[in-house]
Amino acid sequence: MAACSVEALLAKAEQEEAEKLKSITVQKDLDLEFDIGNLLASDKTRIESRDFRGQKKEDFLRSLARDNTQLLVNEIWKLPSERVEEAIVTKLPDQTTPLPREKPPPKPRPPTKWEEFAKLKGIQKRKKTNLVWDENRVDKNEYNRLKNIARAQKVKLPGVGLIPTPQQSKEDLVKAVSVARTSTASAGRFQDRLPKEKPPRKTGKKRKFEPLIGNFSNEKQKQLELLKHMGSKKPQLDINRAVNKQMREENREEAAARFKKGGKKGRKSTMSGKGGKGKGGKGKGGPGKGAQGKGGPGKGGQGGKSGGKRRGKLGKH
């Protein structure tokens, strides 16, 4: 009896399972093409036109969609799954369907100023040395051991920057040089520099300023003295002023010459006409005007000169 019932139970269970699986398994004439990366399943079976008549259309499409989706999901379940915070996830494989570009391809951009310069000079891109992190415990331990000894014996160490390293960068070397230079009895003050060595940039001396509200009269005195010093340092012979002066003189002489010429020309042309009177008048007018001409700009020149600073005795005006 028990065996009979067990058999019956087993058979029943098998039947139920088969029913369940039936809904999971799908019979297809042609296998679908899967692109799991894109969650894409392509069904290439031909569709009969009689399935598309009237009411049957909706049912047909629905069942088709359901079957294909079931197959796709089956494929996804075939991938290795993992559990992440109460959800079972799987990593999708790479996409196999090539998709067209969303945006047009980037246009070649014009070379930057540096790129042009580098091309011109033939500068190549230089990769930095690929120094890797040294996992070696031995060297680290050795260094720490030495440090401990130094601390125990109260020996002063030069500084963090001077760790013995196989590859020393430029900054390390510069630091080492400056440390070596200042480790003399007078802290490097009288240490000569090598021919091409540049002077140290940071003197380490703190800048000291005058107090904010110091002695006002002292301050004034210093400033006035500075002004006096600046004033005296200005050159006596100012080239620009000399040139301008020369130009002024030349202009004046030209003007005077023009007046004289004007007088002579006038006389020649009116010789026949108003004769003596004209001559006499012009004659007096000529040198008179000329003299006045020299006097006028001369006075102006003198005035101008006295107005500005007298810069040295430049010849005779």
Partner 1 sequence: MRPLTDEETKTMFEKLSKYIGDNIKLLVDRPDGSYCFRLHNDRVYYMSEKILKLATHISRDKLVSVGTCFGKFTKTIKFRLHITALDFLAPYAKFKVWVKSGAEQSFLYGNHVLKAGLGRITENTMQYQGVVVYSMTDVPLGFGVAAKSTLECRQVDPMSIVVFHQADVGEFIRNEDTLT
Residues forming contacts to partner 1 in the complex (CB under 8 A) are 209-214, 216, 219-220, 222-224, 226-227, 230-231, 240-241, 244, 247-248, 251, 304, 307-308
- Residue type, position 75, single letter: E
Q: Report the residue number, 106 or 307, with the smaller CB distance to partner 1.
A: 307
Q: Report the residue number, 139 or 219, with the smaller CB distance to partner 1.
A: 219
- Greatest extent of the chain over all pairs of C-alpha atoms, in Å: 175
First to last CA, the chain: 151
Least CB distance from residue 233 to partner 1, whole Å? Answer: 10
Contact, 81 vs 73, CB < 8 A? no
Q: Give the number of other Cβ atoms within 10 Å of residue 245's Cβ.
A: 18
Q: Report the residue number, 107 or 205, with the smaller CB distance to partner 1.
A: 205
Q: Report the residue number, 123 or 227, with the smaller CB distance to partner 1.
A: 227
Q: Report the residue number, 103 or 233, with the smaller CB distance to partner 1.
A: 233
Q: Report the residue number, 220 or 284, with the smaller CB distance to partner 1.
A: 220
Least CB distance from residue 205 to partner 1, whole Å? Answer: 14
Least CB distance from residue 238 to partner 1, whole Å? Answer: 8
Contact, 175 vs 201, CB < 8 A? no
Least CB distance from residue 215 to partner 1, whole Å? Answer: 11
Least CB distance from residue 302 to partner 1, whole Å? Answer: 13
Q: Report the residue number, 97 or 244, with the smaller CB distance to partner 1.
A: 244
Least CB distance from residue 212 to partner 1, whole Å? Answer: 6
Least CB distance from residue 113 to partner 1, whole Å? Answer: 23
DSSP-derived secondary structure for 142-195: HHHHHHHHHHHTTPPP--GGG---SS--HHHHHHHHHHHHH-STTTTTTPPPPT
Residue 114, helix vs strand vs coil = helix
33: its two tokens: 């093409």
Contact, 205 vs 281, CB < 8 A? no
Residues 6+ apart with CB under 8 A from 90: 76, 79, 80, 81, 82
Cα distance between residue 254 and residue 249, in whole Å: 9
Q: 């399935």: which residue's tokens?
A: 51
Residues paired with residue 34 on neighbouring β-strands, in sequence order: 41
